[in-house]
Amino acid sequence: MTNEGTATSGRNPSHGQATMPFELFLAAKRADIGERGDLPDATVAGQLDLLDQLAGFPFGRFLLVNQGWNGFWTDFVMQHPGQGRASGTAPDGRALTGLERCLLDTFPMVLATQERSRHFAATIQDRIVEGNVLASIPCGIARDLLGRDYSAVSDIRLVGIDIDDESLSLARQLAADCSLSASVTFHKSDAWAFGYREAFDLIASNGLNTYEPDDGRVTDLYRGFLSALKPGGTLITSFITPPPDVDPASEWNMDAIDAEALRLQRIVFIDIVGVSFQCYRNSTKTMMQLLEAGFSTVELIWDRARIYPTVIATKAD
């Protein structure tokens, strides 16, 4: 179901496409670590051990070769607190490895992502109204919409837009599993060029801005969302705030962050994987971008560690 056995070309913002057998990629990665040498908080031997541990479970392999998460693995991370945290097992019954559990249960970025998902779910649920049209862009497997309770409404339309064929296929299957196929439409499109105008009462959008370094393109993304919303419509989005080693004025709440988990996260995500979701913006910058794009009001819902806030932006009536 996922492309975890090959290295990537980086054609998707969040993850790439296959170009190199995994064994060759892993050998090259080991050579790169050896050539780089010891890091201030990780010896070469320690880095190689973590590399081997990452190669020992599917999500780790996907991270290594793609430097990001696709729709399937994003959903895996989001569903873990309710499905695998207590049992220590993956959805297929496989026992999670030690590093896998550490990543899913302690890494500050992952915990903030899971909390962000809960904020999205509650905010979307509160805005389910008879006759509304709700969109997810990019939708991934679209659980942000498909996982909500629509029992109180009889007329609702859902739209999922994504550039990734695999995510769209999985989203269609989830829609069928949730008995929502008749209510949902999926389209393959770039999020900067999907072409809708005043079509949606709500747009949920997570992740794209964390892969896009160009502030102008992020503001243009928000303008596109504004154009696609009906008057009075709502955008639910999010952003990653800069960590203290990037911005001395970081908004992170360090009292809510496990220092050892943060250290390990930095080695795994930054030094070994080299994740591509490192486009940070603080709350002031994000609010200014949304207001510049034309939204009339912007509200923030902070996660406990103040790493991955949820944004509720409203278009004027």
| Both tokens assigned to 254 | 């360090």
In the predicted model, is pLDDT for residue 13 greater than 60? Answer: no
The helix/strand/coil state of 94 is coil
In the predicted model, is pLDDT for residue 176 greater than 60? Answer: yes
- Asked whether the beta carbons of 160 and 139 are under 8 A apart, the reply is yes
User: Span 201-215, mean pLDDT?
Assistant: 95
How do residues 121-163 score in pLDDT, each as one tens digit? 999 999 999 999 999 999 999 999 999 999 999 999 999 999 9
In the predicted model, is pLDDT for residue 4 greater than 50? Answer: no
pLDDT band at 20 (very low <50, low <70, confident <90, very high): confident
Neighbours of 30 (CB within 10 A): 16
User: Span 15-34, mean pLDDT?
Assistant: 84
Least confident of 35-39, 83-87, 100-104: 83-87
User: Span 45-70, mean pLDDT?
Assistant: 96
User: What is the pLDDT of the chain when averaged over all its residues?
Assistant: 93
In the predicted model, is pLDDT for residue 5 greater than 60? Answer: no
The helix/strand/coil state of 254 is helix
**Helix pair 58-66, 71-83: axis angle to 10 deg:** 150
pLDDT of residue 225: 98
In the predicted model, is pLDDT for residue 99 greater than 60? Answer: yes
Share of the chain above pLDDT 70, in %: 94
pLDDT band at 19 (very low <50, low <70, confident <90, very high): low
- Asked whether the beta carbons of 129 and 153 are under 8 A apart, the reply is yes
Q: What are the structural domains of the chain?
A: 6-111+257-273 (3.40.50.150), 116-243+281-314 (3.40.50.150)
Residue 29 host element (H or E): helix 22-36
How do residues 225-284 score in pLDDT, each as one tens digit? 999 999 999 999 999 999 999 999 999 999 999 999 999 999 999 999 999 888 999 999
The dihedral over CA atoms of 214, 288, 221, 164, expressed in degrees to the nearest 10, equals 80
User: Span 195-203, mean pLDDT?
Assistant: 96
pLDDT of residue 41: 92
- Which residue has 């009889």 as its token pair? 154
| Both tokens assigned to 178 | 């949730």
In the predicted model, is pLDDT for residue 6 greater than 90? Answer: no
How do residues 251-260 score in pLDDT, each as one tens digit? 999 999 999 9
In the predicted model, is pLDDT for residue 8 greater than 70? Answer: no
Closest CA to 17 of 28, 6, 26, 27: 6
pLDDT of residue 277: 82
Q: Classify residue 238 as exposed, middle or buried by CB count within 10 Å of its CB (0-12, 13-18, 19+).
A: buried
